[in-house]
């Protein structure tokens, strides 16, 4: 079910998340209280704010939400792609993608030296699960050739970041990857540092 977007009542919150009478709003802190609201609960698209973990609770944050059940957001490894080219000329591309169904993909062309990424960022993977999560990648060294960085972006249609060149030599972008259940970035559910995209020209197998 989903809570109403208008005429929201305490009983409709209880119906969606569980609980017993008498109803106490303090039972519905996210990730705390009576345990009724999961830590990874998706943010209300109607209100746009995350359900509070402590202190004051905005009733509006419960408008139009469906209880998030059984979703684990994690990254098993630090995403790394190294692309190579045996020639001094020609294009080289390394790309890391997070898909809307909870999986990750990577590519390194034309020669793959390393292609290491978490197969899933959400478990279980589900069509459209990305609509409940946001990602931010922040370069700590170097810069991406393409892809949004430094700001929270929705995973509703997936996101991709690339490092490519037609020049020679070696270049790397190192970045931090964060995943949140809120467009504001609160809470941060996953942080992975030291992620890399690298291209190497004059690569020798």
Tell the burial category of 149 from Cβ atoms under 10 Å away from its Cβ (0-12, 13-18, 19+).
middle
Query: Any residues with CB less than 8 A from the CB of 4 and at least 6 apart, and which?
Result: 12, 63, 64
Domain end among 24, 39, 69: 69
Q: pLDDT by residue (tens digit) across 131-142?
A: 888 999 999 998
pLDDT for residue 183 is more than 50: yes
* Mean pLDDT estimate for the chain: 82
Note whether 114 and 190 are same-domain residues: yes
Sorting pLDDT into bands at 50, 70 and 90, what band is 201?
low
Pair (101, 7) in one structural domain:
no
Specify whether 138 is located in the same domain as 63.
no
Say what the pLDDT of residue 178 is. Answer: 92
Task: For residue 57, give its domain range.
Answer: 1-69
Beta partners for 59? none
Domain end residue (candidates: 69, 90, 106):
69
Predicted confidence band of residue 61 (pLDDT cuts 50, 70, 90):
very high
φ and ψ at residue 191, rounded to 5 degrees:
-135, 125
Lowest mean pLDDT among 42-46, 74-78, 170-174: 74-78
Alpha-carbon distance of 40 to 54, in angstroms, equals 15
What is residue 153's predicted lDDT score, i.e. its pLDDT?
Answer: 96
**pLDDT > 70: percent of the chain:** 80
- pTM for this structure? 0.64
* Cα–Cα distance measured from residue 197 to residue 136, given in angstroms and rounded to the nearest whole number: 16
Q: Is the pLDDT of residue 205 over 50?
A: no
Q: What pLDDT is attached to residue 154?
A: 93
Kindly provide the residue ranges of all beta strands, DSSP E only, lying in the chain, ordered along the sequence: 72-73, 80-85, 92-98, 104-109, 111-116, 122-123, 134-141, 153-154, 159-165, 170-180, 188-201
Length of the chain: 205
- List, for residues 25-40, the tens digit of each pLDDT value: 888 988 765 668 887 7
Radius of gyration from C-alpha coordinates of the chain:
21
Average pLDDT over residues 171-199: 85
How high is the pLDDT of residue 62? 93
Number of compact structural domains in the chain: 2
Higher pLDDT, 168 or 142: 142
- For residues 45-71, give the mean pLDDT: 84
pLDDT of 1: 72
SS3 14: helix
92 and 165 part of one domain? yes
Q: Which of 51, 69, 87 is the last residue of a domain?
A: 69
């Amino acid at each position: 079910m989903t809570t109403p977007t208008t005429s929201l009542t305490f009983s409709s919150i209880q119906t969606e998340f569980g609980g017993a009478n008498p109803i106490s709003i303090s039972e519905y802190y996210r990730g705390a209280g009576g345990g009724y609201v999961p830590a990874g609960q998706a943010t209300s698209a109607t209100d746009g704010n995350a359900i509070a973990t402590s202190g004051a609770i905005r009733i509006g944050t419960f408008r139009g939400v469906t209880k998030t059940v059984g979703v684990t957001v994690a990254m098993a490894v630090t995403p790394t792609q190294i692309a190579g080219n045996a020639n001094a000329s020609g294009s080289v591309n390394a790309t890391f993608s997070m898909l809307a169904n909870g999986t990750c993909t990577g590519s390194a062309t034309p020669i793959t030296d390393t292609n290491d990424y978490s197969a899933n960022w959400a478990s279980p993977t589900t069509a459209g699960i990305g609509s409940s999560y946001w990602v931010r990648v922040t370069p700590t060294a170097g810069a991406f050739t393409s892809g949004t960085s430094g700001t929270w972006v929705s995973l509703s249609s997936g996101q991709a970041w690339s490092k490519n060149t037609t020049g020679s030599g070696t270049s790397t972008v190192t970045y931090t990857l964060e995943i949140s259940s809120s467009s504001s970035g609160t809470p941060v559910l996953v942080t992975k540092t030291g992620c890399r995209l690298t291209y190497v020209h004059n690569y020798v197998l």
